[in-house]
Amino acid sequence: MLSDKPGKPDAPEIISTTNTTATLKWQPPKEDGGAEIFNYIIEYRAEGAFKWLRATQEKVPKTSYQVKGLDKGVVYEFRVAAENKAGVGPASDPTKPVEVKEPVGE
């Protein structure tokens, strides 16, 4: 039986930010397309930008990831897509826009 691409994950949640990173976590898609999901593709863009940029070159098998190399004070959106042997499924809805900065005291 042929596999389908996985379904669309829910929008990722931003767990924390620093001046140059954002840590995301998400739930796997409800539909895996009949094959194991072995990779997640994380993309980001500055708020209002048209083009999404890929945050990862390596494989991301887990449902969390720290995006590095972001610019301090810039407002970003993030999204994630799941990949199985049939290919990459649709991207999630984006996160709410978030400013990348050090957390202010607890």
The encoded tokens of residue 4 equal 């389908």
Position 3 scores a pLDDT of: 82
- The residue extents of the domains of the chain are 13-99
When the candidates are 1.10.10.10, 1.25.40.10, 2.60.40.10, 2.40.37.10, the CATH number that belongs to 13-99 is 2.60.40.10
Position 103 scores a pLDDT of: 76
Position 45 scores a pLDDT of: 97
What predicted TM-score, i.e. pTM, was given to this entire model? 0.92
Position 1 scores a pLDDT of: 54
The CA distance from 28 to 76, in Å, is 22
Position 47 scores a pLDDT of: 92
Position 102 scores a pLDDT of: 85
List, for the chain, all residue ranges whose pLDDT scores fall below the cut of 50.
106
